[in-house]
Amino acid sequence: MSQEYEFLAEANIGEYITAHPELRQRIDGDNLAQIREIGDGNLNLVFHVLDNNGRSLILKQALPYVRMTGEGWPMTPDRARREAESLVAHGAVNPDLVVEVISYDNDQYILALEDLSDHRVWRGALNDGECHDGVAAELGRYVAGVAVGTSVLGQPRGEVADIAARSQNAELCVVTEDLVFTEPVFDIGRNTVLPDNEADAAALAADATFATAMSEAKWRFMTRAEALIHGDLHTGSVMVRGTGLRGETTESVKVFDSEFAFYGPVAFDLGALFANYAFAAARAQALGERERAEWALSLIEQTWQGFEETYLAGAKSWHETRLFDGAFAQRRIADTLRESALFASAKMARRIVGAAKVADIETLDSSVRAPAARSVLTAARALAAAWTEVSSVSDIRNTLSAHLLQ
């Protein structure tokens, strides 16, 4: 693919800032002290920019392809606009929980974001053994805020229709549909596992119950336009600030990286979080840290409680009150819980066998990595077999615990 817009680089960032008034107000492009490329995700360029007055910001640019693989995997750079718009929408309903968008440049697909250098990416903190108590509940609150605030529960029907139309994101949804739901069952050549996990991947692909569950998950993902969900809410999409010590409340939680946002099922975001808590638990277990593994699985309940409390509190002032009553809210809660187990199963399996993996497992020593990966796959299969029977959050935790904490 030919390059149709200029990519950011150390050499042109000062000039770029100076040419954009909304950025000039935040940082001196003619007097920069340091530019660092800090992108560690699969898709984009990300620069931390600091001037000599100590002012800083983040510039994030979408490339017309997947950074992880290069030009051989084209991907619309318009995803950056969707990220900008969804961050603003999510920030409007969760003012303290979303990174601030300074500006968006639709010509070069560049987002300017507040600098959160005093935060850490939660996945990295978890992998280093930190805890950050309170984050999981805050994320439940974030998902509930989005579930109500961007849906017909919290907004006039016409406004929801308008934003849903602007938020169509088929190209990135297809990436999720392929990588998360289809390819763990039908490998098209992108899957990889350790030699010791080849039999586990084959057993997953041959598991008819898992395949049926993935069909159900994919159908729901493609058809349930409930709210403007984040779409990729893993622990690498969350920044945290605080000591990280057990027992000390985290000072700040910020969600970012919502380029996969679209009108989809709320449970998809919850399932993504639950799956990532499962990775943290599998890692802790592999390192011989049983108590920490149990703590990681307890995050499932914390997120769920944060979600349920906020959702039910919001239900009292739902926009549509004539029909959407308390019994309906309880019914939505029960359905969402079950569906979050289904999506968690998909998210767990894809990060073990699929193209995009997670550091929680990948950075384990080779002596313990294959058994940890196996435990995640067996837990994912167990959840896929049990999701229709889930009636309380402890059902999810217990199913995962039985396979991850052996």
Contacts with ligand SR1, residue ranges (CB under 6 A): 42-43, 66, 68, 175-176, 179, 232, 356
Give the gyration radius of the chain's Cα atoms. 21
Of the candidates 149, 143, 91, the one whose C-alpha atom is nearest the C-alpha of residue 135 is 143
Q: Does the protein bind Mg ion through residue 149 (CB under 5 A)?
A: no
Min dist. Cβ of residue 60 to ligand SR1 (A)? 14
Question: Which one of 39-47, 285-293, 339-347, 381-389 is the stretch in contact with Mg ion (CB under 5 A)?
Answer: 39-47
**Closer CB to ligand SR1, 363 or 394, in the complex:** 363
Q: Does the protein bind Mg ion through residue 133 (CB under 5 A)?
A: no
Q: Does the protein bind Mg ion through residue 257 (CB under 5 A)?
A: yes
318 sits in the region (left: phi over 0; alpha: psi -120 to 50; else beta) called: beta
Question: Which one of 37-45, 97-105, 171-179, 243-251 is the stretch in contact with Mg ion (CB under 5 A)?
Answer: 37-45
**Closer CB to Mg ion, 79 or 374, in the complex:** 79
Q: How far is CA 369 from CA 132, 232, 246, in A?
A: 25, 24, 26
Min dist. Cβ of residue 256 to Mg ion (A)? 8
**Closer CB to ligand SR1, 138 or 232, in the complex:** 232
**Closer CB to ligand SR1, 65 or 318, in the complex:** 65
**Closer CB to Mg ion, 153 or 346, in the complex:** 346
Dihedral sign of CA atoms 274, 276, 278, 280 in order: negative
Min dist. Cβ of residue 356 to ligand SR1 (A)? 4
DSSP state letters, 338-371:
HHHHHHHHHHHHHHHHSSS--HHHHTS-HHHHHH
Min dist. Cβ of residue 10 to ligand SR1 (A)? 25
DSSP state letters, 296-347:
HHHHHHHHHHHHHHHHHHHHTT-S--SS--HHHHHHHHHHHHHHHHHHHHHH
Tokens of 153: 């529960």
**Closer CB to ligand SR1, 79 or 397, in the complex:** 79
**Closer CB to Mg ion, 259 or 301, in the complex:** 259
Q: How far is CA 396 from CA 28, 209, 229, 335, 347, in A?
A: 50, 17, 22, 14, 14
Question: Which one of 149-157, 224-232, 269-277, 328-336 is the stretch in contact with Mg ion (CB under 5 A)?
Answer: 224-232
Q: Which does 66 bind (CB under 5 to 8 A by kind): Mg ion, ligand SR1, none?
A: ligand SR1
Neighbouring CB atoms inside 10 A of 170's CB total 11
**Closer CB to ligand SR1, 287 or 356, in the complex:** 356
Min dist. Cβ of residue 227 to Mg ion (A)? 19
**By three-state DSSP, how is residue 186 classified?**
coil
Min dist. Cβ of residue 67 to ligand SR1 (A)? 9
Among 14, 41, 91, 244, binds Mg ion (CB under 5 A): 41
Cα separation, 8 vs 35, whole angstroms:
11
Q: Which does 175 bind (CB under 5 to 8 A by kind): ligand SR1, Mg ion, none?
A: ligand SR1
Min dist. Cβ of residue 176 to Mg ion (A)? 11
Min dist. Cβ of residue 347 to ligand SR1 (A)? 9
Q: What are phi and psi of 253, to 5 degrees?
A: -130, 125
Min dist. Cβ of residue 78 to ligand SR1 (A)? 15
**Closer CB to Mg ion, 41 or 242, in the complex:** 41
Cα separation, 360 vs 124, whole angstroms:
8
DSSP state of 180: I
Tokens of 361: 């497992």
Min dist. Cβ of residue 276 to Mg ion (A)? 12
**Closer CB to Mg ion, 43 or 102, in the complex:** 43
CB 366 within 8 A of CB 383: no
Footprint on residues 228-247 left by Mg ion (CB under 5 A): 232
Footprint on residues 169-208 left by Mg ion (CB under 5 A): none
Q: β-strands 120-121, 262-264: how paired?
A: unpaired
**Interface positions with Mg ion (CB under 5 A):** 41, 232, 257
